[in-house]
């Protein structure tokens, strides 16, 4: 039997590995013999708490945290085996051009020009949670399930770390994020208004539209109209601004005008991670705009091993559930498919 827990295919309502660990520990006999516990024996207690853990694990696997923008909105792939230590991919600057050729041509133009190999390292993100003997005793006597919030907190911690890596990378462990140095995503220089200010709060609605049009135009010029980003990510303050500020003499907000009229733009996303004060995820220290093409062929957050909960480990008077996730960070196949504007 497969020892790895799969919430989509529970085995008799519990993970056999959890049952075996409980049955082999000193906890199950102690729980079974406790006053008011209503167990027929150690096996009955082991099955009961294995089923409890099955429920808790399935609830935390299903949990999604929409506040983690990278996990919610970036393309995510699982292409690399979970046991791999690294992956090598090619990053392309531009698309090669095809040409009319003769029947005897031997110098066909290359469509993979300027492809540079890049190595991405794969790291494990670890966390855990657990229940004491008293936790299990109290839940049984009260007729209530074990506290799911402990498992949810472990999942939250793992997702928080992976989301942070997706944005800012992890220089110590050689993991790349979309805002990391060396990812080759071009920077767009915003046009300044009076006083040298570039922030949208100091600009008119038309000047904000000019900035966004300028970003798309700059990308088109860089790539000879090959790349057209379809997603704009901005901090919450700017998102609220363009969602409520109306164009002069109209009832149309800046955001609605963009969604109705910008030919390539499909989505505008509010992301607290790129606000200037979000120092964990934004190394620039000022508000940013990030444009990207929502296509895993362009870039992706590579997660070889999604969040996984191992079989419990009995330790003294508690059980501990180790959790692991393996991540390679951002894999940027086409850096020119994205764009960063600093100081909005």
Q: Mean pLDDT, to the nearest integer, of 274-303?
A: 97
Q: What is the sign, positive or negative, of the torsion defined by CA atoms of 324, 328, 329, 330?
A: negative
What confidence score (pLDDT) does residue 334 get? 93
CA angle (247 as vertex; 246, 252 as ends), nearest 5: 60
User: pLDDT confidence of 40, banded at 50, 70, 90?
Assistant: confident
Q: Mean pLDDT, to the nearest integer, of 270-275?
A: 98
What confidence score (pLDDT) does residue 96 get? 47
Q: Is a pLDDT exceeding 50 seen at residue 159?
A: yes
Chain centroid to CA 123: 15
Burial of 178 (0-12, 13-18, 19+ CB in 10 A): buried
| Assigned token pair, 20 | 């075996």
What confidence score (pLDDT) does residue 193 get? 94
Q: Is a pLDDT exceeding 90 seen at residue 260?
A: yes
What confidence score (pLDDT) does residue 91 get? 83
What confidence score (pLDDT) does residue 94 get? 57
What confidence score (pLDDT) does residue 7 get? 44
For residues 108 and 101, is the Cβ–Cβ distance under 8 A?
yes
Tens digit of each residue's pLDDT (9 = 90 or more) over 296-342: 999 999 999 999 999 999 998 899 999 999 999 999 999 999 999 99
What confidence score (pLDDT) does residue 104 get? 52
What is the C-alpha R_g of the chain?
A: 26
- Say yes or no: domain 187-297+335-342 is CATH 3.40.50.720: no
For residues 129 and 329, is the Cβ–Cβ distance under 8 A?
no
Residues 275-292: b if buried by 16+ CB within 10 A, e if exposed: bbebeebbbeeebbbbbb
For residues 246 and 252, is the Cβ–Cβ distance under 8 A?
yes
Q: Mean pLDDT, to the nearest integer, of 31-36?
A: 76
CA distance 157 to 63: 12
Q: Is a pLDDT exceeding 70 seen at residue 79?
A: yes
Q: Mean pLDDT, to the nearest integer, of 254-268?
A: 96
User: pLDDT confidence of 204, banded at 50, 70, 90?
Assistant: very high
Between 5-9, 48-52, 286-290, the lowest mean confidence (pLDDT) is in 5-9
Percent of residues, the chain, with pLDDT higher than 90: 66
Per the prediction, the chain carries an average pLDDT of 89
Q: Which residue has the higher pLDDT, 302 or 141?
A: 302
Q: Where are the beta strands (DSSP E) in 110-251?
A: 115-121, 123-132, 187-188, 231-234
What confidence score (pLDDT) does residue 108 get? 55
Q: Is a pLDDT exceeding 80 seen at residue 8?
A: no
Q: Mean pLDDT, to the nearest integer, of 234-239?
A: 98
Q: DSSP state, 117?
A: E
Q: Which residue has the higher pLDDT, 10 or 323?
A: 323
CATH 3.30.2320.10 location in the chain: 187-297+335-342
User: pLDDT confidence of 61, banded at 50, 70, 90?
Assistant: confident
């Amino acid at each position: 039997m497969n020892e790895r827990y799969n919430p989509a295919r529970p085995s008799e309502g519990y993970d056999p590995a959890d049952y075996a660990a409980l049955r082999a520990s000193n906890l199950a006999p102690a729980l079974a013999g406790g006053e008011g516990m209503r167990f027929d024996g150690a096996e009955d207690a082991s099955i009961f708490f294995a089923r409890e853990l099955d429920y808790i694990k399935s609830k935390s696997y299903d949990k999604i945290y929409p506040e983690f923008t990278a996990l919610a909105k970036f393309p995510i792939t699982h292409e690399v085996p979970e046991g791999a230590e690294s992956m090598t991919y090619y990053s392309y600057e531009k698309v090669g051009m095809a040409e009319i050729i003769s029947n005897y041509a031997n110098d066909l133009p290359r469509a993979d020009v300027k492809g540079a190999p890049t190595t991405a390292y794969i790291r494990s993100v670890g966390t855990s949670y657990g229940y004491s003997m008293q936790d299990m005793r109290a839940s049984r006597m009260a007729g209530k399930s074990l506290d799911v919030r402990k498992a949810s907190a472990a999942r939250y911690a793992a997702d928080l770390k992976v989301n942070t890596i997706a944005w800012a990378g992890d220089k110590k462990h050689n993991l790349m994020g979309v805002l990391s140095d060396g990812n080759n995503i071009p920077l767009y220089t915003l046009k300044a208004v009076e006083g040298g200010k570039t922030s949208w709060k100091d600009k008119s609605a038309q000047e904000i539209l000019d900035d966004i049009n300028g970003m798309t135009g700059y990308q088109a010029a860089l790539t000879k109209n090959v790349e057209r980003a379809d997603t704009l990510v901005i901090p919450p303050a700017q998102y609220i601004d363009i969602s409520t500020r109306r164009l002069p003499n109209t009832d149309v907000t800046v955001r609605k005008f963009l969604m109705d009229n910008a030919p390539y733009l499909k989505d505008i996303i509010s992301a607290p991670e790129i606000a200037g004060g979000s120092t964990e995820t934004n190394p620039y220290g000022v508000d940013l705009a990030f444009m990207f093409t929502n296509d895993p062929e362009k870039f992706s957050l590579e997660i070889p091993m999604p969040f996984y909960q191992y079989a419990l480990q009995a330790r003294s008077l508690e059980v501990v559930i180790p959790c692991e996730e393996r991540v390679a960070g951002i894999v940027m196949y086409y850096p020119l498919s994205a764009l960063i504007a600093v100081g909005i």
